[in-house]
């Protein structure tokens, strides 16, 4: 097997696992199904990754690495807060547009009986907090307020993720031929926007306004006597 063939085989395994995990969930997918989808011998999974969980770890690491690169470059203390919020929203939307399946697997999969996955997610969550704490401070939020931080932290990512989850689910449900008549009729009757650049330009602007003014209202509430 040539180096190119080896690389192609490893990538096919990764891509197959990513697609299957996104559609079915991590627990519902076995190594044999991954191997069949990737058109490789099951032993190749062990050779390139070790175990199924090691593929998941690779997916989580790739996803979160791309995610944090997106949120790190959002200006500095000299950048107006509203502009920083716009930047982070645009970058997050761009990230999810380009990495929908990757994000769905990484953010939605948390096998609590696998300590190494839990530890990996905690490590990345800690990095996220450090990346956004400066923005919260600049806006005047008390980052030591545990209740408010639990409300604020992650809300932007959750909103955007939910949008792309719906898009992903709808696309794949429409592809399933044995779906119920009720589901087909419901999805067919929906007004489906064209998810193009113009849509996401407006989507990002509205979400940035909502988030920025929401944070400002919390700050204003705190300053009341």
Q: Name the CA dihedral angle for 101, 15, 64, 200, rounded to a multiple of 10 degrees.
A: -30
User: Which pair of tokens denotes residue 36?
Assistant: 């069949």
1-50, superfamily in CATH?
Answer: Homeodomain-like (1.10.10.60)
State the CATH architecture for 57-223: Orthogonal Bundle (1.10)
pLDDT along the chain (225 residues), means of 10: 65 95 91 95 94 92 89 80 91 94 87 75 71 81 86 88 85 59 60 84 96 88 59
**Comparing 1-50 with 57-223, is the CATH topology the same?**
no
**What integer pLDDT is reported at residue 93 of this predicted model?**
95
**What integer pLDDT is reported at residue 187 of this predicted model?**
58
Show Cβ contacts of residue 179 under 8 Å, excluding neighbours closer than 6 positions.
Answer: 173
- Annotated domain spans of the chain: 1-50, 57-223
């Amino acid at each position: 097997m040539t180096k190119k063939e080896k690389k192609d085989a490893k990538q096919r395994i990764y891509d197959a696992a990513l697609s299957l995990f996104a559609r079915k969930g991590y627990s519902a997918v076995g190594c044999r199904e991954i191997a069949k989808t990737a058109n490789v011998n099951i032993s190749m999974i062990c050779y390139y990754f070790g175990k199924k969980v090691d593929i998941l770890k690779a997916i989580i690491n790739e996803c979160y690495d791309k995610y944090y690169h997106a949120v790190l470059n959002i200006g500095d203390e000299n950048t107006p807060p509203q502009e920083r919020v716009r930047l982070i929203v645009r970058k997050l939307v761009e990230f999810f547009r380009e990495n929908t399946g990757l994000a769905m697997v990484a953010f939605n999969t948390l096998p609590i009986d696998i300590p190494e996955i839990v530890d990996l997610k905690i490590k990345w969550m800690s990095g996220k907090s450090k990346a956004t704490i400066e923005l919260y401070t600049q806006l005047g939020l008390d980052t030591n307020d545990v209740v408010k931080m639990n409300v604020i932290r992650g809300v932007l990512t959750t909103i955007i993720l939910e949008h792309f989850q719906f898009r992903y689910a709808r696309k794949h449900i429409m592809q399933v031929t044995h779906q119920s008549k009720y589901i087909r009729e419901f999805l067919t009757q929906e007004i489906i926007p064209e998810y193009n650049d113009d849509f996401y330009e407006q989507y990002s602007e509205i979400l940035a306004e909502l988030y920025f003014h929401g944070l400002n209202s919390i700050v204003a509430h705190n300053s009341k006597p």
